[in-house]
Structure 1
Amino acid sequence: MHGPASSGWLLVALCAATGAYCLLRMRSRVEEQRSAAGGEALMGFGMAVMAVPATAFTPPAWAWPAQAVVFGAAGLHALWAARAGARHLHHLIGAGAMVYMAVAMAVSPGHTHAHGGSGVPLLTGALLLYFVAYVLVAGVRLVPVTAVAGGGPAPGWGDRPELARACRLSMAIGMVAMLLTM
């Protein structure tokens, strides 16, 4: 999403750092952490690529359809995983938003993000409402998790639920920023 260059680079850094942390979470001893971390890493890195300012790099014409296909596949995986629990629906919505933005970037002239000045498209507005609500709820839930009393080993970086929540929160904030530029 190609707004001002400085905010674009900050968004790239945030999303790339989030994606890198999610890769670390894939080494977790907790199965739930590992299963969610791969999709979240893909989302973080995909958002970072999409946020690179147009003044720095103009991707080839095939890049946006390729991203739409990758995130479409991630959405199908999230849809399949949603059979096991509703927590996967957020991943489905995120993947759908990435497909929507990739398609919008592919069809826009010059790969800019104007939509003709006709106001905010309905889908963009709905996605914005969802992600703003998610940011608010996730921010409230980010209250520190109390440690369980016991003599077990200290959790590793990949096993810290508060860091995983912060990771999801930062990606949702990034998604809001990207949708605002649509």
Structure 2
Amino acid sequence: MSTTAANKQSRLIAILREGVGLVQMIFFKEMKNRLDHDRPDLDVPARSKLAGAVTNELFGTINPAAEFMAFRQEHQALIEQELLGLATNLPHLLPALTDALRLQTLCDNQEGVATDDTLVTADKLGILLRDRETPLPSAFMTMIRELGARYHLIVPPTPITEEDDRTIVH
């Protein structure tokens, strides 16, 4: 592979990973909102940590900080319970989660890291939509822009007028 092709592939992987990260943020936000509503027995910091722990477990990105490792160990049963309820509790996120987990795995494989276990786990939890085709990068990024705009995490691009175009130096 030429240097130019490798650079383009590297940029594409970085862009796709940003998209996966946005899905993680949206998932965390939705999970936190659901826990705030459904788990008033937990204090606010515990609900945030639980939302983070569930997000990390789902995406296979465990936080190595001692505080979060201790929380994970102490609340493993609760984390697993939340994971088992995801397909029922947040069904509107399943398409985005399916796409993000698949593309995360593809990016990892391109970088020589085998992380198929996240897909296997998601499938066992009923989160992975098997019949959904893996999107092309452009389709994934379009979905990400729409999701980001819906959750007010991304400002969608707006077309410029001819008058605006004249004021831009070319």
Shorter-normalised TM-score: what interval? 0.3 to 0.5
TM-score (norm 2): 0.33
TM-score (norm 1): 0.32
**Which of 1 and 2 has greater Rg?**
2
